[in-house]
Each structure stands twice: as structure tokens, then as C-alpha cells.
């Protein structure tokens, strides 16, 4: 080692200083970590049912795929630039964030990697530890807000969809109600619910008609009797007695009297007066065979009774016709009832079906609105920040201690290898032990290497040169280290 000191003095320090230089000259990357857990809902599903489908095993990857998109990361870059002074564009910076970010599932208690877990750690690397922490915090916030916002939007979409469906069914119910109103207006009292009422009305009118027909028969008998009595009564007092009640009889008697007597005979004049009176009465007969200017009280009384009887009979016949018309109308409604009932049943069946669907939608809408309120108040499944990110003190890349140790190991190893190679290829004899043993030949003496003044001067110059070179190198490396640690 003394003879080959130059190999050790050159190789080992050079590699160690190179390792120190590289470990502090390479741009460091600081990694900040945020740990997030997917926390299930604390409310029992029997109490509040969420309308958002949860994929428990894949929820983390699903949210990661939706959050870590170029568009969202570009918005993050616009709000907070993680690479200030870099010539990269916004799109390239967003891609760089995606490359510098890793996600791994961890145990929520020990925070150690665990393949099947509902917690994960979000790692982000950046040359600036403060920016690494800030970007990690913003990324974690994206995970937290996006998951909650997406669940709220999903719950809101479900409520909006059900509300639109309910409104559509309600419009259909209103349309069917309009059809039902028009149908009732067209068919009136022929509806199924009116069948019993119509049948009862027919029975009632039939009974009234039977009673009325009996009254009509009595009124007809009374009218016939009064008509006969009126025909047998003279309307005037002068023709009341005797046989001067018939116009033909009076004419026959007058002709016979004119043949037997002179024109001035009292009998002839009496018959002429009777004939004239009967002729005048014949021209004054009103409708119904009643003389208008009758002066016989008995005739007038009978005529008045006959008029009343006829008026009563006309009223009864009017009521009879009205009842017959009503019965015919009700019978017509009953005859239409089977066909009307089929159409009415179809309309009511459609209305009932729509009402059932509408009620089901209303029940679902009420649950959806409750679920929407539940998700808005963050009562459902949500992401919870277990560990907030912080600015790291040491870089994760490069591994300075490891790199320096690697330089030390490589320096010593290469120095030893170089010394071994140099020694193995050296055939010079420097002491008695190096002299080959020849038969019959013995070593008398050995002359040591005697250094003179020039040798010592050259040795001092070489030593100073090595010291100066190492001091410069160490000073340079220290400067790099100090600048890297600021």
C-alpha cells in the first residue's frame, strides 16, 4: 500500500468526491404524501337508502381515473404552477404532474402498503419541497371534493330523472282525465255508475205511469159522462122544454105548421123563433161542442165541468207522455250501458294504472330527495383525509447517503483492485525477500534507497500538489453541497 499509495490517493478520493458531487449536484426531488381513506356511511341502509351505486373495491381506481385527467390537471396548473420558470407548456406541465404522481393502497392504521385496503397514499414529487406539499394538498383536495361532488350530482340526477318521469305521468293522467270528462259529456247518464239509478228511475216512472193511466181512465169516463150530459142539455132557456131541441125536428114541425096554418099563426111564429135560435146556436158552437153564448145555467155548469175534465185529462195525458219519454230515455241509456261500460272501464283502467305508476314514482322521488339531502350533508360514503401532506426535509431522489456510500465502497474496491493488478504485474526486486533463491548463490548485503535533497524536494512538491488538488476539489464539492442544502 505504501508503494501503490498513488492508486489509493487518486481512485478512492476521486470516486468519493464524485459521489458527493453527484448526490448534491443532481436536481433533487422531494416527495410529499397524503393518505386518504374511503370511509363507509355511518347511517344504516334501512334508515336512509342512497341512490348512488358504490363500487367499494374499485372506487379508489375509478375516482383516480376521473380526477387525474389532463383537463383537471391543467386547471390545477393554471391555479398554482408547480414548475415555475420551466419552459414546459400548461399541457406538458399537466402531463408532468401525472408522471410525478403515484398512488398505492396502504393500511389505514400502519400506513404500510397493503394490496386490499380502503385507504391509499398519494405521492407527488417536485424539486421544491414546499411546492411538493402544496400540489399534494391540492391533489388530495381534488380527490375529496370530486368524490363528494360526483355522489351529490349522481343523487341529484336520480331525483331530477324521477321528477321528470313523475311530471310526464302526471301529464298523462291529466290527459286521461280530459278524455274521461269528454266521455262523460258525450254519454251523459249512460255511465256504469248510473245504471242502478237509471233502473230505479224506470221502476219509479213505471209505477207512476200505472197510477196515472188509472187516473186517465177515470178522467175519460168522467169526460164521456159530462159530454153525454151536455149534449142532452139545451144551451138556451127557450129550447129547454119540449121537443124544440133538435134543428131537424124543428124544421119538420115548421114545415108541417106552415101547411096547416097561416104565416101569422102563433104556432108558426113559435117554431120560426125556435128554428132561428137553434140555427144561431149551431153557428156558435166552440171547440169541444160547447155553445159560446149559452144562457142555460145547467148547460153552463155542465160545460164548465166538461172543460175542467178535459183540461185535467189533457194534463194527465201530458204527464203520461212525459213519463213514457223518460222511460224510453232511461231504457235507451240502459241499452247503451254495456258498450259505454267497456270504454269507461278501459279509460278508468288506464287512469288507475297511471295513478299507481305516479304514486310509485312519488315514493321513489321522496326517497331520492332524501338521499340527495343525505349526500349533500356528506352522510354517505366519502373520502377522509387521514394524513395531511407536509414539506419533506430530505429528497427522495437522489438517495444521497446511499450514493455517497456507494462512492466509498467503489473507491476502496477499485483502489484495491488497481493495487492488486499493479503488484501482480510488477517484476522488480526491492528487498531480499523479492530476490529469487538460486542454488549456490547467497545474498551478501542490500543497499537501501537513499533520498537526497532533490528527491525530498520533489516529494514535497508532489505532496503539496496533491494537497492543493484535493483542497480545490473538496472546496468545490463543499460549495455544491452548501448550495444544495440552502
Q: What is the pLDDT along the chain (486 residues), one digit of tens a residue?
A: 677 777 888 888 888 888 888 888 888 888 999 998 877 655 545 444 554 445 445 667 777 788 888 888 999 999 999 998 888 899 999 999 999 999 988 988 888 988 888 888 999 999 889 999 999 999 998 888 877 777 777 777 777 888 888 888 888 888 888 887 887 777 666 666 666 776 787 788 788 888 888 888 888 888 888 777 777 666 666 544 444 555 567 677 778 777 887 878 887 777 777 777 666 655 544 455 666 666 677 777 877 887 888 788 888 888 888 888 888 877 776 777 666 667 777 878 888 888 888 888 888 877 777 766 766 655 556 778 889 999 888 888 888 888 889 988 998 899 888 888 888 877 777 666 666 666 666 777 777 777 788 878 888 888 888 788 888 888 888 887 787 776
Size (the chain), residues: 486
Give the C-alpha separation, 138 to 351, whole Å. Answer: 55
> For the CA atoms of 165, 167, 171, 174, what is the dihedral angle to 10 degrees?
120
CA-angle at 336, arms to 330 and 339, nearest 5° = 155
Starting from the edge strand earliest in sequence, which strands make up the sheet with 119-126, in order?
101-106, 119-126, 30-39, 382-387
pTM for this model (two decimals): 0.52
Q: What share of the chain is helix, strand, coil (3-state, %, to 5)?
A: 65, 5, 25
SS3 225: helix
Domain boundaries, the chain: 1-26+398-486, 192-361
pLDDT tens for 276-333 read 766 665 554 445 566 666 667 777 787 788 788 878 888 888 888 888 888 887 777 6
Burial class (CB in 10 A: 0-12, 13-18, 19+), 163: middle
Amino acid at each position: 500500500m505504501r508503494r501503490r499509495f498513488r492508486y489509493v490517493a487518486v481512485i478512492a478520493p476521486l470516486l468519493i468526491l464524485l459521489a458527493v458531487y453527484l448526490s448534491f449536484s443532481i436536481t433533487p426531488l422531494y416527495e410529499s404524501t397524503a393518505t386518504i381513506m374511503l370511509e363507509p356511511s355511518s347511517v344504516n341502509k334501512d334508515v336512509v337508502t342512497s341512490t348512488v351505486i358504490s363500487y367499494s373495491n374499485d372506487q379508489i381506481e375509478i375516482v383516480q381515473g376521473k380526477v387525474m385527467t389532463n383537463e383537471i390537471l391543467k386547471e390545477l396548473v393554471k391555479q398554482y404552477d408547480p414548475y415555475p420558470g420551466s419552459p414546459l407548456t400548461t399541457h406538458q406541465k399537466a402531463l408532468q404532474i401525472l408522471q410525478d404522481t403515484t398512488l398505492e393502497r396502504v393500511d389505514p392504521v400502519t400506513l404500510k402498503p397493503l394490496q386490499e385496503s380502503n385507504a391509499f397514499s398519494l405521492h407527488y414529487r417536485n424539486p421544491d419541497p414546499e411546492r411538493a406539499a402544496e400540489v399534494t394538498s391540492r391533489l388530495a383536495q381534488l380527490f375529496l371534493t370530486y368524490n363528494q361532488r360526483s355522489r351529490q350530482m349522481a343523487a341529484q340526477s336520480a331525483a331530477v330523472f324521477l321528477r321528470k318521469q313523475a311530471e310526464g305521468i302526471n301529464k298523462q293522467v291529466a290527459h286521461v282525465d280530459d278524455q274521461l270528462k269528454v266521455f262523460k259529456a258525450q254519454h251523459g247518464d249512460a255511465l256504469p255508475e248510473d245504471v242502478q239509478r237509471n233502473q230505479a228511475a224506470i221502476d219509479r216512472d213505471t209505477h207512476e205511469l200505472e197510477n196515472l193511466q188509472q187516473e186517465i181512465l177515470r178522467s175519460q169516463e168522467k169526460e164521456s159522462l159530462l159530454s153525454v150530459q151536455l149534449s142532452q142539455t139545451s144551451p138556451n132557456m127557450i129550447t129547454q122544454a119540449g121537443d124544440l131541441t133538435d134543428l131537424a125536428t124543428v124544421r119538420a114541425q115548421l114545415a108541417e105548421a106552415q101547411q096547416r096554418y097561416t104565416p101569422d099563426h102563433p104556432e108558426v111564429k113559435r117554431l120560426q123563433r125556435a128554428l132561428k135560435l137553434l140555427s144561431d146556436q149551431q153557428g156558435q158552437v166552440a171547440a169541444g161542442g160547447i155553445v159560446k153564448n149559452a144562457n142555460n145555467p145547467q148547460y153552463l155548469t155542465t160545460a164548465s165541468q166538461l172543460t175542467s175534465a178535459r183540461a185535467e185529462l189533457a194534463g194527465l195525458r201530458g204527464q203520461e207522455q212525459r213519463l213514457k219519454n223518460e222511460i224510453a230515455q232511461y231504457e235507451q241509456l240502459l241499452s247503451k250501458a254495456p258498450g259505454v261500460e267497456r270504454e269507461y272501464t278501459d279509460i278508468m283502467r288506464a287512469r288507475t294504472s297511471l295513478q299507481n305508476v305516479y304514486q310509485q314514482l312519488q315514493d321513489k322521488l321522496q326517497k331520492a330527495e332524501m338521499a340527495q339531502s343525505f349526500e349533500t350533508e356528506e352522510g354517505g360514503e366519502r373520502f377522509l383525509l387521514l394524513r395531511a401532506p407536509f414539506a419533506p426535509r430530505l429528497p427522495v431522489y437522489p438517495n444521497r447517503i446511499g450514493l455517497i456510500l456507494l462512492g466509498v465502497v467503489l473507491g476502496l474496491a477499485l483502489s484495491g483492485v488497481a493495487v492488486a493488478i499493479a503488484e501482480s504485474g510488477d517484476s522488480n526486486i526491492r528487498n531480499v525477500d523479492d530476490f529469487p533463491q538460486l542454488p549456490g548463490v547467497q545474498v551478501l548485503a542490500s543497499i537501501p534507497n537513499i533520498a537526497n535533497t532533490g528527491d525530498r524536494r520533489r516529494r514535497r512538491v508532489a505532496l503539496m500538489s496533491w494537497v492543493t488538488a484535493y483542497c480545490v476539489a473538496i472546496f468545490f464539492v463543499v460549495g455544491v453541497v452548501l448550495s444544495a442544502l440552502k
